[in-house]
Structure 1
Amino acid sequence: MDMPHQVLEQMLQRKFDKDVRRHYFKGMEFAGPAGDPGWFGPGSAVWHVHSHTEALIFGLQCAAYIERLDPSIYWMGMHHSRLVKRDPKTGIAEPVIDPKGAAVRLGHSIAFFIGTAYGNTETAERVSRTVRSMHHTIKGVRPDGAVYDADDPDWLRWNYATVVWGLATAHEIYHPNPLRGKKLDRYYGEFVRVGHALGGTDLPTTKAETLECLRSYLPRLALTHGAAMATGSNLPMPQSAVDWAIRDTMPKWAKQLIGHTDPNPVERAARRAMVWSIINGLHTAAGTTMEFRQAQARVADGTTCDHTEPTYVLGSDPELSRTEVEHSFA
């Protein structure tokens, strides 16, 4: 590695450490115990997909975009999330993203998907338990009188399908060595363990099943105010360029819902090439994360088993207040 590249990598890794690792990776273990493959282990499709951190982060944004087409998701965020700004006097949420809240949300998401992918077994179990505990506190009523509950099996299925679709599609388009066909279906089949760990049932396990699962929710979806304000012409540059790349990953029916039209094939290919260069340029500059390198070293001499499975039994979590849950993130 030449010196300028080495210096740049160190700068980016220090930034990741300052902004993400020291705040959201507390108590997570990747280096030991030796031989513990965690939920996936070496040679897994999940290790291959999630080790490209920049494509992973982009995929999370793709998942969040399509996820909020469910009005219940939108109101869960308005009522419970720090992602949106709130009136300091009334506490009432405004349909405007709070940059600080968005950074916290992203930090927790990165930690979860890195921790479950190549943390040891105890780490994967712990971060999943924390997320489940947060879900248990998210219950309420939309302004139209519809009840929402983050533990509802239908919601969990929709949430899971949007996440695995976003991550897998971002990988398929922007990873320099993407899995395709049956190899990509292997990722869908492996990742379902994460959905089960969060309480999901009857989850899709292939790309085709995931597409059908997402499409089946169309009758209950809508273009919410928040989604409309975060799309296309409503955004300044460079946000609009990133927004285009996110919308480009969506199924055809979802694009129709938000009024997105694909450009001609040549322009689309050029736009994707530009985004590919940015995502992979950042990945090349930053290098592989320390956590993935530690996981590789953890199993370098072999594993104690192929992988371990999530142990969550539906309904077995203790009841915690939101404050108690938030303390568990520390």
Structure 2
Amino acid sequence: MKKKIMSAAGGLTAKIVGPILDGAVSRFIPTDGPLDLSSVHAAIRADPLALLSPLDLFMDLLRPHYFKNVRFDGPNGDPGWFGPDSAAWYVHTHAPSIYFGLLNTALIDILHQDIRYAVYDHSKLPGRDAAGKALPGYFSGTGFSVRAGRSSVFFYGVVLASSDSAETLCNIVKAMHSKVEGFRPDGVPYDAKDPEFFRFTYATVVDGIATAHAKYHPKPLRGAAFDQFYLEYSKVGEALGGTNLPTTKAECDDILENHPLSLGISITTDNVAYARNFSTGGKRLLPNPLGWIILNAASKPVRNVMQFRQPYAPTLFVYQQVIKIVCAIMDGIGGMREIEQAKKRVGRTAPLAAQGAPEPVCV
């Protein structure tokens, strides 16, 4: 009944409010900028109520770049690799913390020397000059949509999509990573197939997602339930070819803080322009809010390199409340389409079983 009411309201709103919004949408969501926002524009014009689900609306920008044949909506009853009672499902059905977690891992991509040059040499994400050389500090508008679309469908798909889809996604990404090798400007080689390189990069990803969950989910998993996520997610890493992967928070921290590759996390002339976008500038009164969101959930080596310190108590309290509001707005009324499709596929509309406990967003 609720969906029928929302659908009817959307149709009526499109007819009445749509023409009024059209000018505003055209002005504030241009279709001729560095990012092609025409799909977002079209979605709002078709149903202005889409504005009430901003994260799902943002996904309309990325969906054209998804890997093909990934199903969240079927086959009916297929639990996927983990199922709705798993810790992995509980973590991934809170879309805002997943995206903050992926931003966390993106920062590692920028700061770590080996990963950074792998991105420069093999990714569509960096902006490039006429000769194709990466321009530090710049992102490609088209490349952003492609990279973000593929990353989004992979990270959601391996957990929430059908079993066949999860396997397909891992096979695709494993094949892509098999071609990622080369040399840094100083002659040091990098190779995504190297077991220790993969083990370290895997730890940055799973920890980025897990820590953002712990910080920004309204009821995050704690203790053994939190470690269960690390254990479950290792299945994804193994499907990508990883071995000896961390299966607890403590094991992951040990890799990130003590693995020899952690020494590669640094700020250099090649990444300082990117790093400035995430920096809080060492400020304790009014640090960069986006920088705080990311660094608040970052690993110790990243915090140290970025010279991160928590702001003074009044500012910290405000930021904690603001991030709760931001997460609620991002979740919106309708939820993200892929998450809702996955829940319907497994017949689960009630709250998921792996319930966490309310905790402060900053610990």
The yes-or-no answer on 1:293 pairing with 2:340 is: yes
* Residue 15 to residue 263, structure 1, CA distance change in 2 (3 Å): closer
Correspondence for 2:111: 69
* Residue 11 to residue 39, structure 1, CA distance change in 2 (3 Å): closer
* Residue 139 to residue 13, structure 1, CA distance change in 2 (3 Å): closer
Post-superposition offset of 1:159: 1.1
Correspondence for 1:228: 272
- Higher relative contact order (Cα pairs below 8 Å, separated by 6+ residues): 1
Correspondence for 1:267: 315
Correspondence for 1:314: none
1:242-269 deviations in Å (ceiling 9; x for gaps): 1221112123342122222222344323
Q: How does 1:166-181 map to 2 (within 5 A)?
A: 166-181=208-223
Post-superposition offset of 1:233: 7.4
For 1:274 and 1:206, the matched residues in 2 are separated by 30
For 1:136 and 1:282, the matched residues in 2 are separated by 35
Post-superposition offset of 1:150: 0.9
Cα contact 1:157–1:201 (8 A) shared by 2: yes
> What one-letter code is carried by the residue in structure 1 that aligns with 2:347?
A
* Residue 35 to residue 198, structure 1, CA distance change in 2 (3 Å): same
* Residue 215 to residue 295, structure 1, CA distance change in 2 (3 Å): same
Correspondence for 1:138: 180
Q: How does 1:90-239 map to 2 (within 5 A)?
A: 90-100=131-141, 101-217=143-259, 218-232=262-276
Post-superposition offset of 1:107: 1.3
Cα contact 1:232–1:244 (8 A) shared by 2: no
For 2:268 and 2:170, the matched residues in 1 are separated by 29
> What one-letter code is carried by the residue in structure 1 that aligns with 2:100?
F
What's the C-alpha RMSD, in Å, of the aligned pairs? 2.8
Return the TM-score normalized by structure 1: 0.82
For 1:98 and 1:42, the matched residues in 2 are separated by 36
1:96 partner SS? strand
1:196-235 deviations in Å (ceiling 9; x for gaps): 1111111111111111110013334322335422335787
> What one-letter code is carried by the residue in structure 1 that aligns with 2:232?
E
The yes-or-no answer on 1:246 pairing with 2:246 is: no
Which residue of 316, 330, 335 maps to 1:282?
330
2:190 partner SS? strand
For 2:247 and 2:53, the matched residues in 1 are separated by 39
* Residue 234 to residue 251, structure 1, CA distance change in 2 (3 Å): closer
* Residue 37 to residue 294, structure 1, CA distance change in 2 (3 Å): same
For 2:99 and 2:162, the matched residues in 1 are separated by 21
* Residue 227 to residue 241, structure 1, CA distance change in 2 (3 Å): farther
> What one-letter code is carried by the residue in structure 2 that aligns with 1:273?
Q
> What one-letter code is carried by the residue in structure 1 that aligns with 2:210?
A
* Residue 230 to residue 29, structure 1, CA distance change in 2 (3 Å): same
Correspondence for 1:319: none
Post-superposition offset of 1:179: 0.9
> What one-letter code is carried by the residue in structure 1 that aligns with 2:107?
Y
Cα contact 2:257–2:300 (8 A) shared by 1: no
Correspondence for 1:316: none
1:31 partner SS? coil
Post-superposition offset of 1:28: 0.8
1:205 partner SS? coil
Post-superposition offset of 1:133: 1.1
For 1:284 and 1:67, the matched residues in 2 are separated by 30
Post-superposition offset of 1:78: 1.4
* Residue 83 to residue 233, structure 1, CA distance change in 2 (3 Å): closer
Post-superposition offset of 1:14: 6.7
For 1:165 and 1:266, the matched residues in 2 are separated by 28
For 1:240 and 1:185, the matched residues in 2 are separated by 31
- Percent identity over paired residues: 36
Larger Rg: 2
For 2:319 and 2:136, the matched residues in 1 are separated by 29
For 2:307 and 2:228, the matched residues in 1 are separated by 32
